[in-house]
Amino acid sequence: MNIVKRILPTFIMALIVMAGCKDDKYDFDALPDTVKSFFSIDSEELHINEAIAFNNASENAETYTWDFGDGTTSTDQNPSKTYSNPGTYTVKLTAVGPGGTGNYTSDLVIIDPDAVVDTDKELYFIEYGSKLLRKISLIPGSTAETVVDMAGKEGHGMAYDAVNEKIYYCDFQNSNAGKIWRMNLDGSDMEELLSGLGAPYGIAINLAEGKMYIADGTHVSRANLDGSGLEKEFITIAGGAMRAVGFNSKTNLVYFYEVNDENLYVAKSDGTGVAPIVEGAYGYGIYIDEENEKIYYDDRNEGGLMQADLNGSGQVKIASFSGNRGGSGITMDHSTNKIYWAETNNGNVKRANLDGSEIETVMSSVSNPRGMFMK
């Protein structure tokens, strides 16, 4: 009797499993058609303050959601949209129907036809999310292009040697295995200068003395421009975490960010005279404006891009960051007196006058933009 009790549940489970193995077959002809999402526009050149008509060519869809790349959306089937600021905007169309969801994106370049082209500069930046080093001409109507694929490298900061036309690139891929790379402006002749660094987030160049300074985890490191003579603990702050570094060639001063105690520091180029100049500041980007004797830095405690005198006085917020995350890349076009910065988590690159007025979006929907320089 005990044997029957033990066997009976197993026998019943076998019947249930067999009953569940019915030979069902899908009737694929009865399935709804696959949704396809697509749109086009008739105009070849798109201007600010002029309505753009979107031609929805999606198939088998019933509802539509548009994201115009500037924070505005629509659920119209064939919407019309006007942009007030020049820039590159990524438009996304999501189409939904009985057969599923379709997605389509396209970049639109919006220009100001009355804009005066008074610069031939190019903006280089890291697109961290795509592991690319990219650039965009500042001539209105230009689109970004890839300089070099940096797959396998976790880039955050860059510096540009304008005399020798070389890019220095921080790679913090692995803790205590960070690297510094150097390459030509087109990404060719890439060479590894340093390895075994802690976490290189930022780099600055001192051409006169042939040195580089690296915001390297718990300290600021220094080395020769060819990577020799590494001084890993050139400047150390007890319990520190360095996230950005800048250099003033006119005063021979090094500026750096320490984010654990949340202070912005200055030191002499030989590593002496270390002192905080802005206390309670937390950020990942620094730009030294030698011509106007100003420092620009992001401060996430203040939620924006800050400007101050080189001694830290006269602090003023010139732009706010949505979500308080931005400024991991800051640079300047002195020919037009424009400051540029990356809103890292928002995927935007923006610019403004040096006092923060006339803020514009240069690019939107950039995959995590970071360190940048102007050439």
32-111 folds as Immunoglobulin-like (2.60.40)
- Region 351-369: mean pLDDT is 92
CB 366 within 8 A of CB 127: yes
- Average pLDDT in the chain: 89
pLDDT, tens digit, 9 for 90 and up, residues 115-157: 765 678 999 999 999 999 999 998 877 889 999 999 999 899 9
Beta bridge partners of 73: 67
pLDDT at 266: 98
The answer to whether residue 256 scores a pLDDT higher than 70 is: yes
Return the closest-CA partner of residue 135 out of 334, 356, 362.
362
CB 88 within 8 A of CB 364: yes
Residue 187 exposed, middle or buried by CB count within 10 Å (0-12, 13-18, 19+): middle
Give the span between the Cα atoms of 87 and 65, in whole angstroms.
22
Give the span between the Cα atoms of 157 and 171, in whole angstroms.
8
Give the span between the Cα atoms of 285 and 207, in whole angstroms.
21
- Region 357-361: mean pLDDT is 90
Q: How does residue 43 score in pLDDT terms, banded at 50, 70 and 90?
A: confident
Determine what percent of the chain is predicted with pLDDT higher than 90: 72
- Region 322-337: mean pLDDT is 84
- Region 187-195: mean pLDDT is 96
Residue 79: other Cβ atoms inside 10 A:
19
Give the span between the Cα atoms of 203 and 161, in whole angstroms.
11
- Region 321-350: mean pLDDT is 87
* CATH 2.60.40.10 boundaries in the chain: 32-111
> Which two structure tokens, joined as six digits, stand for 30?
């009865």
Handedness of CA 291, 322, 218, 236 (dihedral sign): positive
pLDDT, tens digit, 9 for 90 and up, residues 2-28: 444 444 444 334 434 444 444 566 677
pLDDT at 322: 72
pLDDT, tens digit, 9 for 90 and up, residues 172-184: 876 678 999 999 9
CB 324 within 8 A of CB 344: no
CB 89 within 8 A of CB 364: yes
pLDDT at 356: 94
122-374 folds as Neuraminidase (2.120.10)
* CATH 2.120.10.30 boundaries in the chain: 122-374
pLDDT at 173: 73
Higher pLDDT residue, 344 or 76? 76
pLDDT at 8: 41
Virtual torsion, Cα 338, 343, 347, 352, nearest 10 deg: -20
pLDDT at 19: 45
Residue 92: other Cβ atoms inside 10 A:
17
pLDDT, tens digit, 9 for 90 and up, residues 83-111: 998 888 899 999 999 999 999 999 898 88
pLDDT at 118: 61
What is the H or E stretch that residue 149 is in? strand 145-149
Return the closest-CA partner of residue 201 out of 228, 229, 241, 247.
241
pLDDT, tens digit, 9 for 90 and up, residues 267-297: 999 999 999 999 999 999 999 999 999 999 9
